[in-house]
Amino acid sequence: MAIKLSLGPVLYYWSKQKLLDFYQYIAKSDIDIVYLGEVVCSKRLEMKFNDWMELAHMLTSHGKEVVLSTMTLIEASSERSRMRRFCEQDEYCVEANDFGAIEILSQRGKSYVTGSSINIYNERSLKILQKQGLKRWNLSVELGKEQLGILQNNRPDGLETEVMVWGRIPLAYSARCFTARSHNLPKDNCQFKCIDDPDGLLMKTRENQEFLCINGIQTQSALTNNLIEQLDVMQNLGVDVVRISPQSQHTLQIIEAFSQVLAKKQPAQFFIAQLTSYATTGLCDGYWYGQAGMTKTTIPLKQAESA
């Protein structure tokens, strides 16, 4: 089976117009699966439930498979209701990003996808969730090809595997909004400052090393995870879907690059320089090789492909 290409949910706070324009382009791209929804902060209200549904209809009409993503950190009762609303619609499959959503979906007998924040570290976890309706799971972003290989060998039949191959890595979630904190504002009066950072806010060490990226209550890597050179390895490991995480610029070109490599129209190497220029703070791939996530390995391409 050919690997499918997915676009993860937009993790940043973009204006409604920016999102609508963005997805018009996505509709015409080579992407197979589109994840939609606000997964980071419930205060980001530019898009209402019906706006997401309209977008979903538009993308479906262009032949895209749409999955609705639920919030990752569910605390307030309003967040619970919102999670429930996404889980209780029957038009689209849901990506559960919290066990609360898994509970609602499995009780309703619906099949679902789990996002990378659902902790699956062993084959027994996969089996349990499959019995509860899991149809596709995302590999934890901190795991690499070695663990994936073992999980794939023991994966229950019929289960699909998805791996993130491009984007700043979601690393942590908090009750605290770090964007508001950086502006000396409390979360309850955040003034929606994060809408000014379409790719998050860089957090550097005092030696000017670009270390992390603040996105409201979420903390990401400053570096962009890039595994375009590992698509062949993923094919051999039986990965079904690879995920690109959207960014404010060049997402279409990134999709194009991955699509070309998956279709074997160009070798991965052809796109390295171009992709490097799209990652404004640099690339990393350490997690995939079992190292610190921020590491950029310098394994020559040929060796990496045969690994």
Partner 1 sequence: MLNSYFNFTSGEYILELVCPAGNLPSLKAAVDNGADAVYIGFKDDTNARHFAGLNFNDKKALSGLNYAKERGVKVFAAINTYAQTGGFIRWQQAVDRAQELQLDALILADIGVMDYACEKYPDLRLHLSVQASATNPEALEFYHRNFNIQRAVLPRVLSVKQVEQVAQFSPVPIEVFGFGSLCVMVEGRCLLSSYATGRSPNTYGACSPGSHVQWQEKANGVLETRLNNVLIDRFQEGEKAGYPTLCKGRFEVNKHTFYALEEPTSLNTLSLLPQLQKIGVTALKIEGRQRSPAYVALVTQILRDAIDTMKKDPEHYQAKDEWMDELLKVSEGSQTTLGAYHRPWQ
Site for partner 1 in 5-34 (CB under 8 A): none
Query: Minimal distance in Å, beta carbon 94 to partner 1?
Result: 13
Spatial distance between the Cα atoms of 163 and 239, rounded to a whole number of angstroms:
7
Residues 210-229 that bind partner 1 (CB under 8 A): 211-212, 214, 219, 221
Residues 175-194 that bind partner 1 (CB under 8 A): 175-178, 181-183, 186-188
Please list, in sequence order, all residues whose beta carbon lies within 8 angstroms of the beta carbon of residue 125, skipping any fewer than 6 positions away.
Answer: 119
Give the residue, chosen from 57, 204, 264, 296, that forms a contact with partner 1 under the rule CB under 8 A. 204
Query: 3-32: buried (b, 16+ CB within 10 Å) or exposed (e) per residue?
Result: bbbbbbbbbbbbeeebbeebbeebbebebb
Query: Minimal distance in Å, beta carbon 7 to partner 1?
Result: 22
Spacing of C-alpha 84 from chain mean position: 21
Spatial distance between the Cα atoms of 92 and 77, rounded to a whole number of angstroms:
23
Give the residue, chosen from 30, 123, 160, 305, that forms a contact with partner 1 under the rule CB under 8 A. 123
Query: Minimal distance in Å, beta carbon 163 to partner 1?
Result: 15
Spacing of C-alpha 104 from chain mean position: 22
290 contacts partner 1 (rule: CB under 8 A): yes
100 contacts partner 1 (rule: CB under 8 A): yes
Give the residue, chosen from 169, 241, 261, 279, that forms a contact with partner 1 under the rule CB under 8 A. 169
Size of the site for partner 1 (CB under 8 A): 71
- HEC assignment per residue over 1-57: CCCEEEECCCCCCCCHHHHHHHHHHHHCCCCCEEEECCCCCCCCCCCCHHHHHHHHH
- Residue keyed to tokens 């074997």: 264
Strands 201-204, 210-215: pairing kind: antiparallel
Q: Which of 59, 67, 2, 5 is nearest to 39 (CA)?
A: 67
Nearer to partner 1 among residue 222 and residue 268 (C-beta):
222
Query: Of 53-61, 135-143, 240-248, 263-271, which segment contacts partner 1 by CB under 8 A?
Result: 135-143
Give the residue, chosen from 19, 151, 257, 261, that forms a contact with partner 1 under the rule CB under 8 A. 151
Give the residue, chosen from 3, 7, 11, 83, that forms a contact with partner 1 under the rule CB under 8 A. 83
Query: Minimal distance in Å, beta carbon 252 to partner 1?
Result: 28
206 contacts partner 1 (rule: CB under 8 A): yes
